[in-house]
A and B are shown apart, each in its own frame.
Chain A
Amino acid sequence: MVRRATAFLIVGALLMALASMVGAQSQFTLPGIPNPKVATFPPEVGKYGGTYVVSSISDPRTFNPIIVQDTASGAVTNVMFDGLVEQDYITGEIEPGLAESWTVSSNGRTWVFTLRQGLVWSDGTPLTVDDVVFSIQAIFTPGVDNSFRSLLTFSGQQVTWRKLDARRIQFTTPTSLCPVGLFLRFIGFPIVPKHKLADVLARSGAEFSRTWGVNVDPKTMVGSGPFLLQSFTPGQRVIMLKNQKYWQVDKRGQRLPYLVRYIIVTVPNQDAARLQFLAKQIDAYGARGREFAELKGLEKQGDFTIYDGPETFTREFIVFNQNPRGVRAPKLSWFSDVKFRIALAHAIDQNTMSRQVLAGRATTSTSDISAGNKLYYDASLQPYPYDLNRAQQLLAEAGYRKGADGFLRDAQGNVVEFTIVTNAGNQDREAYGNIVRQDFVKLGIRATFVTESFPSLVGKLTGTYNWEAIIIGFTGGIEHGTARNLWLTTGDLHMWNPNQTTPATQWEAEVDRVFEQYACEPDQAKRKALMTQFQQVVYRNLPMLYFPYQKTQPALRNTIGNVKLGLQGATGTLGTRYYKGPYRP
């Protein structure tokens, strides 16, 4: 999911929709930009100056915003390049970005976006519709590997586009299909400068992918976002400088950003990052659950605040293989037996997982959607209580009985045994796996828990299908229905039984229908109803047994201004962030 959260408005969804239809007119102007975007969320008007230093666990892999796949690179390109629209980091709503307004045709298939007037790249070249057209061309050029292309391709058909005039561009989704309900979510791709990159794209897609890599001379780059790349030292740091030509203003009409420098230090070890944060060398730290209470006690001494953040969207779970191409009888029949899975759900001790692994900084899960997703989480579902006696009883009712030797046997007398795998090196998952194993063993299952290297695990999951139970996790976006590759029966990531030609079960067919309707549904309330239906189907059928959703606990130096918690523990935007206290030397 594309997440660009550089600025935002506090307005009701209705108000915003209205505004965007008519084209918001701000009360301020900037030289050459009659209608700059007003970043109104943060209540404070900041001071200019200062350096904001954060850490990243790894180096960026590229500075080319089109081909970015990893978070470390995204952390740089997202502040350097903007899209037509952006996502509010607090509400998750889509709001105007480089485009000041848009309209949609009555059939919901044709979208027209109007760019702000007077936008310029950091070198002074005007940013026009030609750049937008160029960017989408780049996305669809063969050899440019990127994840935006799948977002803009609907059932195999690409979106089409047409330049209307210097400031307006029209997109049309395939007319043979239903209208695309989430079109605004998909159109947030980064706009790249045609005048800098046209030559390389003309040569080849591969050439384009290799342009603006980490070996780039920053002077040859231009951007539209609040900060621009100044230097990158491999293994050490990225230094970014304020963009003097940024197109957003604060609520007094002063041009953003406030900060002069933004530095991302590469600190591969989390403990080292924590020490640097406590030593006031870096200004922000994403603490682990088990550190929350301890850091809370150090707040005064370290001049920082640690926030009780919301749950992440990442779900961790155990999934059983129901794929006839992967497992044989009798295992296939156990794993495909919904009674078996529900019985085992009663053996998932989420409370212990939360206490032992996350020091209680977690929320019990009921389904595929995190409690942190305020738009779609169905709070009415109650988690299956951890109760081994109940689990044993349910198993017995389904024909699985514990014999005198202590082993669980199915109706045919086969001992129930399987291997649970997770990727080695992920300590949380290893801990979950161990807790699950102990409980399964208590039920009489001969469960073995092993770890494997990540590539090998993914190879089994998506290639050979040769696995029994896997513990893994997926990140998610706020629009949960975009996880189509996971939930559609035709999906490659429909782990328990991927790439089906016809849905194997009733409930999977129902989920298919929900996801297809969701994709065409422009109305948020109706999408919410669909997602509620989805969560209830999943709750009753449990292809995966979910583990607790981790809470976030961001810690931030008190000298940083304009801080407010948003989705997944985000604490603000770089455009409006400012330095209150004395500047660092």
Chain B
Amino acid sequence: MIRYIARRIMNMIPLLVGVSLVSFLVVQLSPGDFLAEIRLNPVVDAATVDRMRENLGLDKPLYIQYVKWLASILRLDFGYSFAYQVPVWWLINSRLLNTLLLSIVSLVIAWLIAIPIGIHAATRQYSWSDNTLSFVSYIGISTPTFFSGLLLLYVAFVTGWFPIGGMTSLEFDDMSTVGKVLDVARHLVIPASVLAFLTVAGLMRQMRANLLEVLRQDYVKTARAKGLAERVVINRHAVRNAINPLITIFGFELGGLLGGAAILESVVGWPGLGQLILDSVLRKDLYVVMGSLMLGTVTLVVGNLVADVLLAASDPRIRYD
């Protein structure tokens, strides 16, 4: 297994080079450039725009731009943002922890809720509680996050129970450590529940379906026939086997931890990576886009790797070598 993991990590290098090359080309060949905003300023003349283009290095042939970027990334230098004129890594780093906090909290909440209710719904298929849970999950998967986010902000406004967006209060800097933790926790409630709601709905449907499938298998019938308690049958035998597709999904979610949820973040004002990436993508801030793509690819690969390892661990029949 160690060898397998090592090989997968080695494989990552050509993958990253391939992804970066394709991405660089696609980004650069798509129409428009970073200077679009400035071009539309009636007092800025074309000569100034040309000079800016030169200073940003956008006038050089594509392959030179790419090789330069690749050379600097090998030194772990992500380059400078066009818009901010600060290192890309600094920009990403300033929001990394916020995004991780939100995604991990919502991920944990979602899995803690989704798995038990999925099991519950499957073991009582078409019961009153299954139908209710299913119905709620349908609403969950059909509600866009910007809508539920806005709705919760409005609830927060009317009730005063939670802060209206943001991650910290104005007085944050003067708070004690415990106060700071509580403050962030209060701000987390809305975005984390919106994200969790969305994830719970999908996961619960998956869990329910997989478990239903497994419960029909012969070995479950055998286990029941042997007189094992239903709880043991479900938890020991059925759930372990039903969890397989969820492990793959878990890998995806690990891979997406850093992606952030741009639209939700901007609705509730969560200072995460998603907003930064979306803004950079929209205004074609090239090196921020490339940096976040690379980061995304690495976490994607690691997430998939973790999923593969977990798959093998949960199901001894699976072997990779």
Contacts and interface: CB of A to CB of B under 8 A. Distances in A.
A451 interface: no
A235 B284 contact: no
Nearest to A149: B48
Of A58, A150, A461, A491, chain B has the most CB atoms within 10 Å of the CB of: A150
Interface residues of B, number: 61
Contacts of B42: 474, 476, 482-486, 493
B259 interface: no
Contacts of A215: 86-87, 90, 94
A231 interface: yes
A145 B35 CA distance: 12
A15 interface: no
Given A234-B94, A279-B164, A476-B42, A150 B48 contact: yes
B92 to A, nearest CB: 10
Nearest to A423: B36
A1 B36 contact: no
A455 interface: yes
A462 interface: yes
B80 A268 contact: no
A53 B171 CA distance: 12
Contacts of B157: 275, 278-279
Nearest to B48: A150
A304 to B, nearest CB: 15
Contacts of A457: 32, 36
A213 interface: yes
B93 to A, nearest CB: 10
Contact of B268 (A61, A62, A272): A272
A472 B36 CA distance: 13
A56 to B, nearest CB: 11
Contacts of A268: 265-267, 269, 275
A491 B52 CA distance: 18
Contacts of A147: 38, 41, 43-44, 48
Interface in A189-223: 205-206, 209-210, 213-215
Contacts of B171: 585
B83 interface: yes
B55 A69 contact: no
A213 B84 contact: yes
A93 interface: no
A458 B40 contact: yes
B271 A236 contact: yes
Contact of B165 (A143, A267, A472): A267
A143 B55 contact: yes
B205 to A, nearest CB: 30
Interface residues of A, number: 68
Contacts of B153: 271-272, 275
B31 interface: yes
Contacts of B282: 453-455
B86 A272 contact: no
B43 to A, nearest CB: 5
Contacts of A477: 43
B279 interface: yes
A476 B160 CA distance: 41
B315 interface: no
Nearest to B53: A145
A147 B45 CA distance: 9
A266 interface: yes
Contacts of B267: 268-269, 271-272
A521 interface: no
Contacts of A210: 80, 85-86
Nearest to B51: A145
Interface in B227-278: 265-272, 275-276
Interface in B71-88: 80, 83-87
Nearest to A483: B42
21 contacts: A145-B52, A213-B85, A213-B86, A231-B173, A235-B94, A235-B269, A235-B270, A235-B271, A271-B153, A455-B30, A455-B33, A455-B34, A456-B32, A458-B32, A474-B42, A475-B41, A482-B43, A483-B42, A484-B42, A485-B42, A493-B39
Given A69-B37, A281-B170, A456-B30, 16 more contacts: A61-B83, A62-B85, A70-B37, A147-B38, A147-B44, A210-B85, A235-B275, A268-B266, A272-B150, A275-B156, A275-B157, A278-B157, A455-B32, A455-B282, A460-B31, A462-B40
Which 8 pairs show the lowest CB-CB distances between chains A and B?
A235-B271, A455-B32, A458-B36, A492-B46, A213-B86, A268-B266, A483-B42, A459-B32
Interface of A: 1, 51, 53, 58, 61-62, 64, 67, 69-70, 142-143, 145, 147, 149-151, 205-206, 209-210, 213-215, 231, 233-237, 263, 265-269, 271-272, 275-276, 278-279, 281, 453-462, 472, 474-477, 482-486, 491-493, 499, 585
